[in-house]
Every structure is written in structure tokens, then in C-alpha cells.
């Protein structure tokens, strides 16, 4: 009986093995070799910024024709050129973009209406009277954006505002989607002048809650030689396509809302910036 059982078990295993081998050979789904090649050209971070389920999904979409060769924003120009080579096309120039926080109302500059004690999550804090900042448009400052960044490009500063490292930022946009106040946006990496405010309140209301907010004085609009700035519902907005880095807007801004970003190794575009405004004391 034992011998019979062993023989039956062996025959059963052999039949199952043959069945699996048959299935693998005759029922296998053929994969376009270009999918594998495109997948190898992508960074492999599976961040999902492309809108597809990871790099595998993006590669399949490129080969199917439902996505372009520049689908991978995280990979930038290098990935676009590599994917284009696989597909036999030319990628063209890819403008790199980086995340930027359009708010400066951190500690000492923005009025705090209450001290939040609870789950360290921006979305949770917003559920409590719109968040702890007196400005309803301000960054909450609990670091949701820093936690979703897969590249370590964002850290929470001492003023409880996120700092972005442009050298590490790939422009994937995950932080943009995570921010409940929508104060993080993607901007051209080559641009240095920025209007760092998101408030659409009128000037007097802004002054009460933030020392560095846009007060809609329109001085930047009037003095921009390239007409790159316009007012949008009491907020000055920069058209980066028109900005020529003249610097007049920053020199005329009375609140320091307009900044000139200076990165390591760069010379300031405007050497003599206006003195920063005095900090605003926290309420209570």
C-alpha cells in the first residue's frame, strides 16, 4: 500500500508538472519587448505622478500609444530621451519643474489663531476651524507634503514651513496633490523670481494676519517691464513665460512677498533687497 501511494503521488506530480509546462508554453501572454525596454528606461520609483499604476503601467501605456514618451516627469529629460529611443521618435526638450511653497507665513510672520494639539496631519488640522493659522490660505505646517515626497526633497523647517531642495525635486507633483491648502505648485526650474503668497483676501485683511502677504497694492504690476504680473482676485500672479528677471517687482514690493531665489553657487540677481518687514505677533 505504501509503494502504491508513492507511485500514485509521483504520477500525480508528473501530470501536474506537465500541465503547468503546457500552460506556460501555450497559454502564455506575449509581451511586446518594447514594454520591457521602456520599463528599463524609467527610474523605477513607482511614484504614480504620471497618472498610471507605477512604471509598469506607464511603460505599457507608452507602447500602446495612450501616453507620450515624456510621460515620466520624475525621470526628466534623460528618461524622455531613453524612452523616445526605444520608440524610434524624438522626445524634444522637456522643461524641468520643481515644487514651490507659495506661503511665507510661518512662525513669527503669520498670526496663529489657536494652538493645534492633535494628529500631526494637515488634513486633520484643517477640519478644526479651517486650521490653526489666522490666514485661511496659509500653509498648515504639519508636513504632509514632506512625508509623501519619495525623493527626500522636502523637509519641515524651523518656521514650520516646508523647504524644497530643487536639486532633489523631480517635479512629480505628489506634494501638490497632498496639500489641503493648495499652496504648493510646480514652477519652471529656471525661474528665480516668485510671488510667495496664496491669499485672495483684500490688503487690510492680509495685514492683520501676515507680515509677508500680498496686499494687492499693484506696485509690482505697474513696474514689471515685461508685463509678467497681473492681479487675480486681490493676489499678484506671475506669468513665468513672460518673466525676464528684471527685478523691479521685488524692489517695489513693500511686504517682501516677492522673492529672488538664490541657489548654491549662484549670484543674487538683485544684490540689494528691501529690508524684511517686522514679524507679526501671534494672537493670544
Interatomic CA distance for residues 128 and 142, integer angstroms:
14
Task: State residue 284's pLDDT score.
Answer: 46
Strand partners, 100: 185
Task: State residue 168's pLDDT score.
Answer: 94
Q: Where in the chain is the domain with CATH 1.10.15.40?
A: 33-87
Interatomic CA distance for residues 206 and 133, integer angstroms:
12
> Looking at the domain 97-260, which fold is it?
Alpha-Beta Plaits (3.30.70)
Decide: residue 162, CB within 10 A, 0-12 exposed, 13-18 middle, 19+ buried.
Answer: buried
> Looking at the domain 33-87, which fold is it?
3-methyladenine DNA Glycosylase II; Chain A, domain 3 (1.10.15)
Q: Going by DSSP bridges, is the β-strand pair 229-231/236-238 parallel, antiparallel, or unpaired?
A: antiparallel
pLDDT tens, residue order, the chain (284 aa):
777 777 777 778 777 777 777 666 665 556 788 899 999 999 888 888 888 888 999 999 999 989 899 999 888 899 999 999 999 999 888 899 999 999 999 999 999 999 999 999 999 999 999 999 999 999 999 999 999 999 999 999 999 999 999 999 999 999 999 999 999 999 999 999 999 999 999 999 999 999 999 999 999 999 999 999 999 999 999 999 999 999 999 999 999 999 999 888 877 665 444 444 555 555 54
pTM of the complete model = 0.79
Q: Where in the chain is the domain with CATH 3.30.70.20?
A: 97-260
Decide: residue 1, CB within 10 A, 0-12 exposed, 13-18 middle, 19+ buried.
Answer: exposed
Amino acid at each position: 500500500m505504501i509503494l502504491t501511494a508513492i507511485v500514485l503521488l509521483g504520477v500525480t506530480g508528473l501530470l501536474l508538472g506537465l500541465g503547468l509546462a503546457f500552460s506556460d508554453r501555450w497559454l502564455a501572454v506575449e509581451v511586446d519587448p518594447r514594454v520591457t525596454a521602456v520599463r528599463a528606461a524609467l527610474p523605477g520609483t513607482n511614484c504614480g505622478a504620471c497618472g498610471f499604476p507605477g512604471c509598469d503601467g506607464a511603460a505599457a501605456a507608452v507602447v500602446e500609444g495612450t501616453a507620450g514618451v515624456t510621460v515620466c516627469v520624475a525621470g526628466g529629460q534623460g528618461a524622455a530621451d531613453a524612452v523616445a529611443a526605444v520608440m524610434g521618435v524624438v522626445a524634444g526638450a522637456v522643461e524641468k519643474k520643481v515644487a514651490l511653497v507659495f506661503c511665507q507665513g510661518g512662525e513669527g510672520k503669520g498670526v496663529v489663531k489657536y494652538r493645534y494639539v492633535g494628529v500631526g496631519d494637515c488634513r486633520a488640522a484643517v477640519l478644526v476651524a479651517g486650521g490653526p493659522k489666522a490666514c485661511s490660505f496659509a500653509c498648515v505646517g504639519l508636513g504632509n507634503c514632506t512625508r509623501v515626497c519619495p525623493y527626500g526633497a522636502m523637509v519641515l523647517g524651523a518656521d514650520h514651513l516646508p523647504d524644497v531642495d530643487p536639486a532633489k525635486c523631480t517635479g512629480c507633483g505628489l506634494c501638490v496633490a497632498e496639500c489641503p491648502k493648495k499652496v504648493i505648485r510646480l514652477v519652471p526650474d529656471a525661474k528665480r523670481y516668485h510671488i510667495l503668497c496664496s491669499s485672495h483676501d483684500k490688503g487690510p485683511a492680509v495685514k492683520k494676519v501676515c507680515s509677508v502677504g500680498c496686499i494687492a497694492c499693484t506696485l509690482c504690476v505697474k513696474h514689471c517691464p515685461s508685463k509678467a504680473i497681473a492681479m487675480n482676485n486681490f493676489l499678484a500672479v506671475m506669468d513665468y513665460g513672460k518673466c525676464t528677471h528684471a527685478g523691479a517687482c521685488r524692489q517695489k514690493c513693500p511686504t517682501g512677498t516677492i522673492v529672488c531665489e538664490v541657489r548654491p553657487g549662484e549670484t543674487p540677481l538683485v544684490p540689494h533687497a528691501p529690508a524684511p518687514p517686522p514679524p507679526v505677533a501671534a494672537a493670544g
